[in-house]
Amino acid sequence: MRVICTKLGAHFTLNSTPYFRNSSLRIITRDYHIVAVEEARSFIHRCMVAVGTQDSHANDLAEVLVAADHRGHYSHGMNRLDMYVKDIKTGTTVSDKSPEILKETAATAWVEGNNLLGPVVGKFCTDIAIKKAKEAGIGWVVAKGSNHYSIAGWYALKAMQEGLIGLSFTNTSPLVTPTRAQKPAIGTNPIACGAPATGDDSFVLDMATSAVAVGKIELNDRKGLPIPDGWGSDSRGKVSNDAKAILNGGGLMPLGGTELCSGYKGYGLAMMVELFCGILGGASYGPHIRKWKDTDRVANLGQCFVAINPDAFAPGFPDRMQSFLSDYRNATPADSEKEVFVAGDPERKHIEKVAKDGGLSYHRNLVDHLNTLATDLKVEQIKTK
């Protein structure tokens, strides 16, 4: 790593290249590159179109992946692009169809995703859920035949932006080792919930039911960094700090980590998500879902999207929600240098940081990887500042 010491608050460039400063360490480093938000979307779009993705589907994917990075969930954004490219390129995922409603009532719908990109299916389902919630008070939509859809929170946010409470769940490839088991057999199965408060404030929970998402293990592996205790286990089901051991034969640990630290609760939540997605939707489920990044067969993921109209219940929901958020933000912190957050606050801080930096921060290893991908696809390389 190339490091140059600097005074706190100073501004530096070298050969017109911006450097990032960690204010606590007072250093600047060239390990990261800045990419404008619009350029990130454009790069994803041109890569996907290059492998035959229809324009609107490429836009849907770019919107979600960049939203993930914008909110600080780098494990689910640009880091995932090569997976989507490969799925379209090999024909494992298609782009020549549209999602279809198979069955519906005033408040529910069952959707066939037709093996399209996950964000295409997710947007279709969320729009249905929003419409039904406005008409019936709630919209509950379950899909089969879908694929990886990036961050669960994006779909909850779409409902929240309409003044609704949004929920989103998906099952995933079996990456997590159940409590007391030796091998992975259930997915990271994320849960997301978005609820509006007053003004632009909100509660936005977006979490895996595993200790971390697999993308965080992959990022540490790409950077050559060890991982903390409780994130993953080796091929014998034992806690490991080696990213490669977890990715090659091992597995992620459920939320909580070991049994002693209540990992069985994360395991139970993962099964609950599976109930709403794979079981309820008639999709693949649990250990029957294809392995991670396996392109020999379709994923057939199950996903669930819920929108709830607060107006169907007690009046004054946004005001109570705002008071609820304030109760915790105003709590006395255990560490005077760390404020008490509620779900969604770290993402808001990150969005502010992106605006201050003038774009998204990508590690140089990822940028190098993206430029190799661009060369392979014969598209323009990603522009950095």
Are residues 138 and 294 in contact, defined by beta-carbon separation less than 8 angstroms? no
| Average pLDDT score over residue span 63-89 | 96
pLDDT band at 13 (very low <50, low <70, confident <90, very high): very low
CA distances from 326 to 53, 166, 200, 202, 297 (A): 44, 21, 14, 11, 48
> How many Cβ atoms sit within 10 Å of the Cβ of residue 76?
27
User: Which tens digits make up the pLDDT trace of 125-161?
Assistant: 999 999 999 999 999 999 999 999 999 999 999 999 9
- Domain stops at, among 282, 312, 342: 312
Who contacts 242 (Cβ-Cβ below 8 Å, separation ≥6)?
226, 227, 234
User: Which tens digits make up the pLDDT trace of 253-273?
Assistant: 999 999 999 999 999 999 999
Q: What percent of the chain has pLDDT over 70?
A: 92
Question: What pLDDT is recorded for position 18?
Answer: 37
Residue 190, domain member (yes or no):
yes
Going by the DSSP 8-state scheme, the letter that residue 259 receives in this structure is: G
Query: Residue 360 belongs to what H/E stretch?
Result: strand 360-363
| Token couple for 43 | 């790069």
Strand ranges of the sheet holding 138-146, from the earlier edge strand across to the other edge: 100-104, 108-112, 138-146, 301-308, 165-170, 191-196, 202-207
> Do 70 and 129 share a domain, yes or no?
no
> Do 140 and 199 share a domain, yes or no?
yes
Lowest mean pLDDT among 7-21, 194-208, 307-321: 7-21
Residue 1 scores a pLDDT above 50:
no
> Do 273 and 190 share a domain, yes or no?
yes
| Average pLDDT score over residue span 351-355 | 98
Residue 226 scores a pLDDT above 80:
yes
- 3-class DSSP assignment, residue 132: helix
Terminal CA-to-CA distance of the chain, rounded, Å?
Answer: 19
Question: What pLDDT is recorded for position 293?
Answer: 78
> Do 132 and 271 share a domain, yes or no?
yes
> Do 150 and 261 share a domain, yes or no?
yes
Question: What pLDDT is recorded for position 216?
Answer: 87
Residue 174, domain member (yes or no):
yes
| Average pLDDT score over residue span 338-353 | 97
Residue 338, domain member (yes or no):
no
Residue 65, domain member (yes or no):
yes
Query: Could you tell me the CATH number of the domain that includes residue 306?
Result: 3.30.1370.60
> Do 205 and 268 share a domain, yes or no?
yes
Residue 12 scores a pLDDT above 60:
no
Residue 15, domain member (yes or no):
no
User: Which tens digits make up the pLDDT trace of 267-297?
Assistant: 999 999 999 999 999 999 999 999 987 878 9
Residue 26 scores a pLDDT above 60:
no
Question: What pLDDT is recorded for position 25?
Answer: 36
| Token couple for 152 | 């669960």
Residue 321, domain member (yes or no):
no
Distance, CA of 364 to chain centre: 21
Question: What pLDDT is recorded for position 362?
Answer: 97
Strand pairing category for 32-35 and 165-170: unpaired
Residue 320 scores a pLDDT above 80:
yes
Q: For the chain, what is the domain count?
A: 2
Question: What pLDDT is recorded for position 222?
Answer: 83
Residue 234, domain member (yes or no):
no
Query: Could you tell me the CATH number of the domain that includes residue 365?
Result: 1.10.1530.10
Question: What pLDDT is recorded for position 82?
Answer: 95
Residue 292, domain member (yes or no):
yes
Question: What pLDDT is recorded for position 16?
Answer: 34
> Do 177 and 289 share a domain, yes or no?
yes
Whose CA is closest to 77, among 86, 87, 66? Answer: 66
Question: What pLDDT is recorded for position 261?
Answer: 94
> Do 170 and 269 share a domain, yes or no?
yes
Are residues 34 and 356 in contact, defined by beta-carbon separation less than 8 angstroms? no
| Token couple for 122 | 């997710």
> Do 122 and 269 share a domain, yes or no?
yes
Vertex 384, ends 382 and 385: CA angle to 5°? 160
| Average pLDDT score over residue span 78-101 | 96
pTM of this prediction exceeds 0.95 = no
DSSP for 311-359 reads GGSSS-HHHHHHHHHHHHHTSPPSSTTSPPP-TTHHHHHHHHHHHHHTS
Q: How many helices (H) and strands (E) does the chain have?
A: 12, 17
How many CA atoms, within 13 angstroms, populate the side-chain half-sphere of residue 105? 8
> Do 56 and 184 share a domain, yes or no?
no
b/e 304-321 (16+ beta carbons within 10 angstroms → b): bbbbbbbeeeeeebbeeb
Are residues 241 and 227 in contact, defined by beta-carbon separation less than 8 angstroms? yes
Residue 27 scores a pLDDT above 80:
no
Are residues 190 and 75 in contact, defined by beta-carbon separation less than 8 angstroms? no
User: Which residue has better confidence, 176 or 13?
Assistant: 176
> Do 59 and 171 share a domain, yes or no?
no
Residue 10 scores a pLDDT above 60:
no
Question: What pLDDT is recorded for position 295?
Answer: 79
Are residues 1 and 16 in contact, defined by beta-carbon separation less than 8 angstroms? no
Residue range(s) defining the domain that contains residue 184: 100-211+253-312
For the chain, what is the mean pLDDT? 92
> Do 68 and 128 share a domain, yes or no?
no
